[in-house]
Amino acid sequence: MDTRITQEARHFIEGLTRFVRDECIPAEDAIEETGSLPEPLIARMKDLGLFGLRIPAAYGGSGMNLLDYCYALKELSKSHDDIRARMSINNGIGSMAIVNDGTADQKNHYLPLLASGASIAAFALTEPGAGSDASAIATTAIKTAGGWVLNGMKHFITNAPIADIFTVIAVTDKEKRARGGISAFLVEKGTPGLSIGALHNTMGGKGWLQAEVIFDDCFIPETGLLGPVGGGFKIAMKTLNEGRLSAAASAIGIGERLLSMGIGYAKLRTQFGKPIAEFEAIQWMLADSATELFAADRMLADTAFRFDCGEDIRTHSSMTKLFATEAAFRVADRVLQVHGGMGFMRETKVERMFRDIRAYRIFEGTSEIQRFMIARDLLKD
Ligand SMILES: Cc1cc2nc3c(=O)[nH]c(=O)nc-3n(C[C@H](O)[C@H](O)[C@H](O)COP(=O)(O)OP(=O)(O)OC[C@H]3O[C@@H](n4cnc5c(N)ncnc54)[C@H](O)[C@@H]3O)c2cc1C
């Protein structure tokens, strides 16, 4: 099985490596301090086409296959995670439902805006009463003349305060729920009845901007229905399948950067008259980290390749997300340990990456939910 990225993607990723090194990493401290991305950096991201890598070329994107995209995302994830977060929602959970299930009008209108970065996307599924059990959502969409009326509240929604277009999942039939009673809608910023609630104060990823999204008699015209009535749960799950692989790709990218920081520090730091890299305890932490990242990387390539070949990757994407995000967290912990007290200090950046990587075991489905889904597939008749 040939799971290599295309030559075209290889060249693009080489350019990304330079972008990360020369423009993103120097901006990291400012991003961390302010929780916002500098405008010139956003302009460069637009120039590089980063907001539309996964969006088909017919709508102004690059139309990358999932394998190439995951490796581009992995490279960009070696910079501050706020940069990764800003581009990945437009390419992933914020646009994929439109790409997969949108009408011609929806695609023609929204996808060019998302691909260019002129519009920012958000995906609104989670609610205070419905996290892992997404089928328990309480936000309703009631049919009315010419459209639908949404009521309810979402929370933890990334990009919410800056988003122009929300993919919203709501109940349209309380009896059927996940079996044909949940539908997807496209809701634009500024729609009467849509408001952004409190911004969550988070442990990491200050610039990811998670907030509440409130619907109060929010009227959505018929043209805002995304996919068939009752098809929303399937749409959300399909979107998350791909999203899980993106989470894995980013986690591996962060892990690889951490490992190179750990190697650099171990060679430089001297104790007991020699570099700490000469101590077996340190070597084993680095060796275990490299081994786990290699395994995660191969799982990523295999699963993305299967997707591009048209396979159903439900279980593989859960396994890859589970392993990659847990492995990357172990890498972050070891690399922090390799740095000793310096690892705890803000100036090394390890502590920031340690905080940011922690969220990866939670969003796009927790590790426990990934295990639950893998086991359910193993045990089915
Ligand atoms: C940084 C961040 C960004 C996010 N961005 C978005 C976004 O853009 N859009 C969006 O819709 N959502 C988003 N979320 C929400 C995210 O998807 C949910 O937090 C996640 O699905 C878990 O739901 P919960 O937080 O309600 O936890 P809960 O479901 O309450 O889980 C609590 C604990 O119970 C465990 N648990 C629950 N059910 C089971 C079970 N059946 N078996 C075993 N263990 C179980 C969980 O694994 C977890 O350990 C984001 C979350 C974070 C942290």
| Domains along the sequence of the chain with CATH | 7-116 (1.10.540.10), 121-230 (2.40.110.10), 240-379 (1.20.140.10)
Q: What is the mean pLDDT of each run of 10 residues along the chain (381 residues)?
A: 88 98 97 94 98 98 97 98 96 97 98 98 98 97 98 98 98 96 98 97 93 98 98 96 95 98 98 98 98 98 96 96 98 98 95 97 97 97 83
Q: Where are the alpha helices (DSSP H) in the chain?
A: 7-19, 28-34, 39-47, 66-76, 81-91, 96-101, 104-116, 232-268, 280-308, 314-338, 350-358, 367-379
Protein residue with least CA distance to atom 30, ligand 1: 131
Cα–Cα distance for residue pair 369/193, rounded to 1 Å: 33
Q: What is the pLDDT of residue 358?
A: 98
Tell me if 350 sits within 8 A of 248, measured CB to CB.
Answer: no
Q: What is the pLDDT of residue 381?
A: 83
Q: At what angle do helices 39-47 and 81-91 cross, to 10 degrees?
A: 40
Q: What is the pLDDT of residue 99?
A: 97
Cα–Cα distance for residue pair 237/97, rounded to 1 Å: 10
Tell me if 115 sits within 8 A of 238, measured CB to CB.
Answer: no
Ligand 1 binding pocket mutation candidate from 126, 169, 203, 240 (most atoms within 8 A of CB): 126
Q: What is the pLDDT of residue 199?
A: 96
Lining residues, ligand 1, CB within 6 Å: 123-126, 131-132, 156-158, 205, 208, 210, 359, 362-363, 365-366, 368-369, 372
Ligand 1 centroid from CA 126, angstroms: 8
Tell me if 53 sits within 8 A of 15, measured CB to CB.
Answer: no
| Predicted structure pTM score | 0.97
Cα–Cα distance for residue pair 87/324, rounded to 1 Å: 20
Tell me if 169 sits within 8 A of 150, measured CB to CB.
Answer: no
Q: Which of 8, 292, 364, 368 does the annotation list as catalytic? A: 364
Indicate if 364 belongs to the active site. Answer: yes
Cα–Cα distance for residue pair 152/140, rounded to 1 Å: 6
Q: Which atom of ligand 1 is nearest to the CA of 122?
A: 8
Ligand 1 centroid from CA 249, angstroms: 19
- Contacts of 287 by beta carbon, 8 Å cutoff, 6+ apart: none
Q: Return the closest-CA partner of residue 323 out of 352, 351, 302, 337.
A: 302
- 3-state SS, 258-281, equals HHHHHHHHHHHCEECCEEHHHCHH
Cα atoms found within 13 Å of the Cα of residue 318, Cβ hemisphere only: 19
What are 134's two structure tokens? 């997404």
Q: What is the pLDDT of residue 1?
A: 67
